Copies of this chain bind each other. A is one copy, B any other.
Amino acid sequence: MDDQINNSETSYSSWDGILHKLVQKIVYEALVWSSLHGLVVGDKADQRSGEVPGVGLVHAPFALLPKSFPRTHWQQACELAPIFNELVDRVSLDGKFLQESLSRTKKVDTFTSRLLDIHSKMLEINKKEEIRLGLHRSDYMLDAQTKDLLQIELNTISSSFPGLSCLVGKLHKYLLDHYGNRLGLDSAQVPENTAVIQYAEALASAWKEFNDSRAVIMIVVQKDERNICDQVVAVVYFRAGYTPNDYPSESEWHARLLVEQSSAIKCPSISYHLAGTKKIQQELARANVLERQELYDFLDNSNVIDNAIERPDSYVLKPQREGGGNNIYGDDMKEVLLKWKRKGSDELSAYILMQRIFPAVSRSIMVRNGVVHQDNAISELGIYGAYLRNKEKVILNDHCGYLMRTKVSSSNEGGVAAGFAVLDSVYLT
C-alpha cells in the first residue's frame, strides 16, 4: 500500500506521518470490509467478468470518507423528489406534448426515433397504463459561486446504484464508528441510506397492485437471452434498454414493443422513458420548477451558440441519450458548433447544449483497484424517488435514499461504471 500511495500523482510528502499511517490502515480495513459485504463489481480487466457472476470481482471504487454536504440543500433535494415524481407522471399522460417536443430530435437520433415509434403505436391503440411505477433519480450539484443546488438531470429508466450506494454509506458509517474520534467525524452525520430496500418494496407494492399471485416480476438485463417466459408478468423492471447498445438486433426492439403492448406494469413505460430525455427536461425547466442548469435548443438559440463558441469552457454538449462517456467539451465542442453553423444540418438535434456547472471543489481520498489516490474532486448527489399509482390512487410518492458520486475535478466525464467517478456518501453539515 505504501508504494501505491507514494506513486500516486499527488505527493504525500506534506502529510503528517501519523495521518498517513492512519489513512493506510483505514484503506486496508475499507478494502477488507468491501470484500466481505458485497461492495464489489466485475473487474473490467478480467475477461470473464460480466460473463459469469462470481468471478473476476474487485471492490467498487469508493471515496474513503463521506463528502460534506449542507443539510439544508440535502433536505431541499429530498423534498423535491415527490414533486418530480408527480411531474413525470403528468407529463407521461400528455402523448402529444412528448411527440411534438421530440419531433426534431426524432429526425437525427435513430434511437429516440425508435422509442417514439413505440410511443406512437401506443397512442394509436389508445393504450392506458392504469398502474404506473416510477423509480427515478434526480441528480444535483452545488454551484461553487452561488452555493445553489443545481439539477443536472432526472433519470427515469434504470436509475443505477441503489444497492452499492447503500453499501458505501454502511462502509462510511463503519469506518467512522471505528476512526471517527481520531478524524473528528461522527457517523451519525451520515444519513441512513435505504434506497435498495425502498426500491425493492416499491417493486413489491406494484406487484401487489397487479393482484395476481401467480404473476412474476421480470427484470430486463443486458445480454438477457431468456425468452419472454410463458408466465404472467406483473412488473417489467428495465435494468437495460436505455442505450442503442442494448438493442443489437430487431428482436430487442420487438421485445420492447411486446412489453409495452402487454398488461404488465412497466418500470418505466415508454412515456416515462421519454419524459426522462434531456429535451423534455429542457421543456420542463421552462415551468421554473427549480432553478437548474440551463438547457439550450439549437435552432431557437443562435445567440447562445455564438456565446458557446466564444466561451467554450462555459458550456457542454450532451447527447439526448443516457449513459456517461459521450459529452463534448471545450475546443471539440467549439469545432462541432462552428461546423454546424457552416453546414446548418439537423445533426445537432441529437444533442443538448448546456450551461456548464462549476461545482464546489474539495479534497478527496479515492480508492480504485486497491490503489489510493488523493486529489481535488467534485461531487454529484442523486436522490432516488419512488412513485406508484393505481388509477386515481397514489400509493407511493416519496424520496428514497441517495447516491453520492465523487470524481477528480479535472475529469470531464461522470459515470462510476465508465471508470471516472467513485461511489461516496454524504456527511451532513
Contact residues in B for A56 (Cβ distance below 8 Å): 43, 58
- A12-51 vs B, Cβ < 8 Å mask (1 yes, 0 no): 0000000000000000101110111110100100101001
Q: Does A191 contact B (CB under 8 A)?
A: no
Given contact pairs A36-B38, A38-B38, A40-B35, A369 touches B1 in the complex (Cβ within 8 A):
no
CB pairs A–B below 8 angstroms (29 shown): A1-B52, A4-B52, A30-B54, A31-B53, A31-B55, A32-B53, A32-B54, A34-B53, A34-B54, A35-B38, A35-B40, A35-B53, A35-B54, A35-B57, A36-B38, A40-B40, A40-B54, A40-B57, A43-B56, A46-B46, A48-B370, A53-B370, A54-B59, A54-B370, A55-B58, A55-B59, A55-B369, A55-B370, A57-B57
Bound complex: CA of A56 vs CA of B43, how far in Å?
8
Contact residues in B for A370 (Cβ distance below 8 Å): 48, 51-55
Bound complex: CA of A4 vs CA of B52, how far in Å?
10
Bound complex: CA of A58 vs CA of B51, how far in Å?
13
Contact residues in B for A32 (Cβ distance below 8 Å): 53-54
Within the complex, the shortest CB–CB distance from A23 to chain B, in Å, comes to 14
Q: Which of A36, A51, A55 has the most CB of B within 10 A?
A: A55
Interface residues of A in 81-101 (CB under 8 A from B): none
Question: CB within 8 Å of B: which residues of A?
Answer: 1, 4, 28, 30-32, 34-38, 40, 43, 46, 48, 51-59, 367, 369-371
Which residue from chain B places its CB closest to the CB of A4 in the assembled complex? B52
Contact residues in B for A43 (Cβ distance below 8 Å): 55-56
Bound complex: CA of A371 vs CA of B58, how far in Å?
19
Which residue from chain B places its CB closest to the CB of A46 in the assembled complex? B46
Bound complex: CA of A4 vs CA of B370, how far in Å?
31
Cβ A52 vs Cβ B31 within 8 A: yes
Q: Which 5 A-B pairs give the minimum distances between C-beta atoms? A: A31-B54, A54-B59, A52-B370, A57-B57, A36-B38
Contact residues in B for A369 (Cβ distance below 8 Å): 55
Which residue from chain B places its CB closest to the CB of A57 in the assembled complex? B57
Across the interface, A58 reaches (CB within 8 A) one of B38, B54, B367, namely: B54
Bound complex: CA of A48 vs CA of B59, how far in Å?
13
Bound complex: CA of A370 vs CA of B54, how far in Å?
6
Bound complex: CA of A51 vs CA of B38, how far in Å?
20
Contact residues in B for A30 (Cβ distance below 8 Å): 54
Cβ B35 vs Cβ A37 within 8 A: no
Bound complex: CA of A51 vs CA of B28, how far in Å?
11
Which residue from chain B places its CB closest to the CB of A167 in the assembled complex? B36
Within the complex, the shortest CB–CB distance from A54 to chain B, in Å, comes to 3
Contact residues in B for A48 (Cβ distance below 8 Å): 370
Using A57-B58, A57-B59 as known contacts, list a sample of 9 further A-B pairs with CB atoms less than 8 Å apart, ordered by residue number in A.
A4-B52, A28-B53, A31-B53, A34-B53, A35-B53, A35-B57, A52-B371, A54-B59, A55-B370
Contact residues in B for A46 (Cβ distance below 8 Å): 46
Contact residues in B for A34 (Cβ distance below 8 Å): 53-54
Contact residues in B for A55 (Cβ distance below 8 Å): 31, 43, 58-59, 369-370
Which residue from chain B places its CB closest to the CB of A37 in the assembled complex? B38
Bound complex: CA of A59 vs CA of B59, how far in Å?
13
Within the complex, the shortest CB–CB distance from A166 to chain B, in Å, comes to 12
Q: Which of A4, A30, A53, A367 has the most CB of B within 10 A?
A: A53
Contact residues in B for A1 (Cβ distance below 8 Å): 52
